[in-house]
Amino acid sequence: MAGEPDSLIIGAGSAGATLAARLSEDPGHAVALIEAGPPYAPSRADELSNLAFALTERDWGFGARTHGERIVPYPLGKAAGGGSAVNGGLAIRGMPDDYDEWERLGAAGWAWKDLLPAFRRLESDPLGEEHLHGRDGPLPIERWSPDAYIPLQQQFLAACRAHGIAETADHNAPTSTGVGPFPMNRRGNLRVSTAIGLLAPALDRSNLEVHSDARVTRLLLDGRRARGALVERAGETFEVTAKRVVVCAGAINGPALLMRSGIGPRAALAKHGIACAIDLPGVGAHLMEHPGALLAFVPKQGVCDPERQPQYQLGLRFTAPGSDIPNDMLIGVMNHIDLRGMPDLHAAAGADIGIALTCGVHHPLSRGNVTLTSADPDDPPQIDLRLLDHPEDTRRLLAGLRLAHTLSQTAPLDGSLARLAAPAAAVFDDDRALEGYARSVLTPWFHATGTCRMGSPDDPAAVVDPGCAVRGAEALYVVDGSILPQIPRAPTNLTIIAVAERAAELLRAS
């Protein structure tokens, strides 16, 4: 690439790969893309049957505090495609009101009517009405057909029917609720990440330059103007400059990079000897995450076949009792789960492979944060999720676990389950005991958002404006899950890709 690029994009994940692909569609716009992980290459890791959320070669190796002093692994994709290259492939939109809420919170131009065209451009989905679904986008959307449900999933569906739960063929329809097949960005058994669907077809463009295995340690600022990034690769350090810089490093690494560069809460930066260039108290704050817990079952002989069965097929979106937020909960059945990585559950089950009914709160009210542990980029940030800090999150999670337990006792699903391994059945009659169990197995669903949230210019906690520009800075933008003002009631990956799609529109116009 001759000359200085127009856009320097930091991070080739769900957002960054999408943004680079879309901006480089204009042959007159030069794009440099920097990714800390390896370049895209076909791999068994792209097979959904090889699902592992912490693939060694594609993970940052971070841990996160769920609550109190309990720390769990917190895998984040470190490769082209980012989270979309390591996740479960679920491609579920939030509810329309999630995005309308963004606009009510000050993100003008980010309502459902603005995001729907972005979702449609991205997807190739044969289901539903054309004004709601795209047909020729770069991400294929597939759902299991009823004749392909394995017996366990058919039994889960029958149990839901027995309790009068609604059915849906399309979880991405705006008014959908109930039980139905998960939409997934897959092609057969292949997880179609943004690296595969968007970035790979763009790699031969002369106006797109990709630096892989290259870590950005800090941004380069001239006063308040971003001029580029300091990059490490193979033991060498070099600068990449551009007319504008777009941080797409995600809701954990993104705010950490900003803070190391002197952009963040002044007092917090001073603790690590970092001179504050732009005092933004919202950097690293407002961390949102979906909290989840599971019930573990020992399957009857012959029910589980990890070599031939998908891990999940159907999901139940529902509203918690007493909640006024529709579809604030999600239950699913994992056809097989390896219990060897969970010593307590492994011991309770007395078996290596189990079945899990998972339950998550999809409209959490608890908030955490991301902070630096030092100014050294080799030191990982501290991730405090503070799951279940808000009592309403706890109340809803317990209600969801009780519903999952009820479904597990319903014919014909109960016929596949030899016994409940954890918790003990008596726990469901005692709120305090059930909460204790939920906290003992509590896990994030790896949907971190909101740590550089978008808002109106008069919102002191907002980090970026509705054009994704960092407040108080020049030529500096953030485009990834960190800017979400409210976490959607769905797995976040498809929304984050749509955010990048929408941001590409705005950046092209600017």
pLDDT, tens digit, 9 for 90 and up, residues 395-412: 999 999 999 999 999 999
d(CA 394, CA 101): 23
Confidence of residue 383 (pLDDT cuts 50, 70, 90): very high
Q: pLDDT at position 307, please?
A: 87
What is the CB neighbour count within 10 angstroms for residue 273? 8
Give the pLDDT band (50/70/90) at residue 367: very high
Residue 49 has pLDDT above 80, yes or no: no
Which helix (H) or strand (E) is 377 found in, with range? Answer: none
Specify the pLDDT at position 151. 97
* C-alpha to C-alpha distance for 174 and 193, rounded to whole angstroms: 24
Q: What is the pLDDT of residue 56?
A: 58
pLDDT exceeds 80 at position 50: no
**Cβ count within 10 A of residue 424:** 11
Q: Where are the alpha helices (DSSP H) in 249-390?
A: 250-260, 266-270, 343-349
CA atoms within 13 A on the CB side of 86: 23
pTM: 0.97
| H-run or E-run covering 279 | strand 278-279
Task: Quote the pLDDT of residue 34.
Answer: 98
451 CB-near residues (< 8 Å, 6+ apart): 251, 252, 254, 255, 283, 284, 285, 286, 287, 369, 370, 482
- Residue span(s) of the chain under CATH 3.50.50.60 come to 7-44+192-286+449-509
Kindly state the average pLDDT of the residues 335-350. Answer: 90
Model confidence at 359: pLDDT above 80: yes
At 53, the pLDDT band (50, 70, 90 cuts) reads: low
Q: Mean pLDDT across the stretch 200-222?
A: 97
* Predicted confidence (pLDDT) per residue in 237-280, tens digit: 999 999 999 999 999 999 999 999 999 999 999 999 999 999 99
Looking at the predicted structure, is the pLDDT value of residue 57 above 80? Answer: no
Q: Say which of 286, 336, 362, 447 is annotated catalytic.
A: 447
Q: What is the pLDDT of residue 42?
A: 82
To the query of whether residue 447 is one of the catalytic residues in this protein, the response is: yes
Report the alpha-carbon distance of residue 480 to residue 258 in Å, rounded: 13
| Cβ neighbourhood burial of 509 (10 Å; 0-12, 13-18, 19+) | exposed
Residue spans in the chain of domains classed CATH 3.30.410.40: 144-181+290-444
Cβ-proximal residues to 504 (8 Å cutoff; 6+ apart), any chain: 18, 19, 22, 23
pLDDT bracket for residue 1 (50, 70, 90):
low
- The CATH number of domain 144-181+290-444, selected from 3.30.410.40, 3.30.43.10, 3.20.20.70, 3.40.50.20: 3.30.410.40
Residue 476's CB: how many other CB atoms inside 10 A?
A: 25
Across 478-503, average pLDDT: 98
What percentage of the chain has pLDDT greater than the value 70?
98
Q: 7-44+192-286+449-509: which CATH topology?
A: FAD/NAD(P)-binding domain (3.50.50)
Mean pLDDT, residues 328-346: 92
Query: In this predicted structure, what is the pLDDT of residue 43?
Result: 81
Average pLDDT over residues 441-461: 96
pLDDT score recorded for residue 191: 93
Phi/psi for 162 (5° steps) reads -60, -25
Q: Residue ranges of the alpha helices (H) in 81-134?
A: 96-104, 112-122
Taking the C-alpha atoms of residue 224 and residue 7, their distance in angstroms, rounded to an integer, is 17
Structure confidence at residue 368 (pLDDT):
98
